[in-house]
Amino acid sequence: MEPDELVSTDRRPRADAVRNRQLVLSAAADAFAARGADVPLEDIARSAGVGIGTLYRHFPTRDALVEAVYRNEIDVLCERADELLETMPPDLALAEWMRLFVRHVATKKGMLSVLKPLLGSNPSFFDQTRGRATAAATKLLEAGVAAGTVRGDIDGGDLIRAVGGICMSTDQERSEASERLVGLLFDGLRRGAASSPTSA
């Protein structure tokens, strides 16, 4: 019996359950990006180091797992934007975040067969997640503009569309092409930036 199947009054099973859920989400994101949404769930459970029963307990259907992975990817993008700005210069934080967004789009491409029906049944889901990603991109861009290291004629929505468009136009198997082209986009964002920080 796995740890999160135990009935106990202490908090360890709940902590294990949270850990196992995150392990499944991470393994599923990697699998969907590499192999698409039809990857056997048993393979995902094995990669996560949990039993298939644990996976189904957290995510009773493939659709539920896909939606949870997508939501988790957006959560990570938004959290990382703040973390990167706290630890790196704004332009380097933006570059690293754009690389993370490339990974997010690769995962999304792998899940499109499941995500498209979800869009039809719940369009507000994508409006909400897209809005959060756009807000994170805007925060990074504004920090770069204020520091004088990023040009100010592109907004968060433009950046999301540009990076997403690059990634969606390249083959699933050629993620290095997406990263290279997004790197060129980043170079363009720095070209023409102010030479000194803008005044508050």
Q: Is the dihedral of CA 29, 37, 66, 140 positive or negative?
A: positive
Of the listed ranges 150-154, 175-179, 185-189, 192-196, the one predicted with least confidence: 192-196
Identify whether 82 is part of a domain: yes
Could you give the CA distance from residue 94 to residue 88 in angstroms, rounded to a whole number? Answer: 9
Identify whether 200 is part of a domain: no
Identify whether 108 is part of a domain: yes
Looking at residue 171, its pLDDT comes to: 63
Looking at residue 109, its pLDDT comes to: 85
Nearest 10 degrees: Cα torsion 10, 44, 47, 170? -130
Residues 8 and 20 in one domain: yes
Tell me the backbone φ, ψ of residue 58, rounded to 5 degrees. -85, -35
Could you give the CA distance from residue 123 to residue 131 in angstroms, rounded to a whole number? Answer: 13
Could you give the CA distance from residue 68 to residue 115 in angstroms, rounded to a whole number? Answer: 11
CATH number at residue 27: 1.10.10.60
Write out pLDDT tens, residues 129-165: 889 999 999 999 999 999 999 999 999 999 999 998 8
Q: How many domains does the chain have?
A: 2
More confident residue, 66 or 168: 66
Host domain of residue 13:
1-60
Residue among 65, 153, 144 nearest 97 (CA): 144
Residues 45 and 69 in one domain: no
CATH number at residue 148: 1.10.357.10
Q: Is the confidence at residue 88, as pLDDT, over 90?
A: yes
Question: Contact, 114 vs 62, CB < 8 A?
Answer: yes
Query: Mean pLDDT of all residues in the chain?
Result: 85
Question: Contact, 156 vs 138, CB < 8 A?
Answer: yes
Residues 87 and 152 in one domain: yes
First to last CA, the chain: 59
Looking at residue 27, its pLDDT comes to: 96
Write out pLDDT tens, residues 4-15: 444 444 445 578
Write out pLDDT tens, residues 53-64: 999 999 999 999
Identify whether 182 is part of a domain: yes
pLDDT band at 97 (very low <50, low <70, confident <90, very high): very high
Could you give the CA distance from residue 165 to residue 136 in angstroms, rounded to a whole number? Answer: 18
Residues 74 and 121 in one domain: yes
Q: Is the confidence at residue 45, as pLDDT, over 80?
A: yes
Which of 19, 45, 60 terminates a domain? The answer is 60
Residues 152 and 164 in one domain: yes
Residues 191 and 123 in one domain: yes
Composition of the chain by helix, strand, coil, percent to 5: 75, 0, 25
pLDDT band at 194 (very low <50, low <70, confident <90, very high): low
Residues 144 and 101 in one domain: yes
Which of 14, 41, 60 terminates a domain? The answer is 60
Residues 117 and 182 in one domain: yes
Could you give the CA distance from residue 96 to residue 115 in angstroms, rounded to a whole number? Answer: 26
pLDDT band at 196 (very low <50, low <70, confident <90, very high): very low
Distance of CA 193 to the CA centre of its chain: 27
Residues 76 and 167 in one domain: yes
Could you give the CA distance from residue 62 to residue 85 in angstroms, rounded to a whole number? Answer: 35
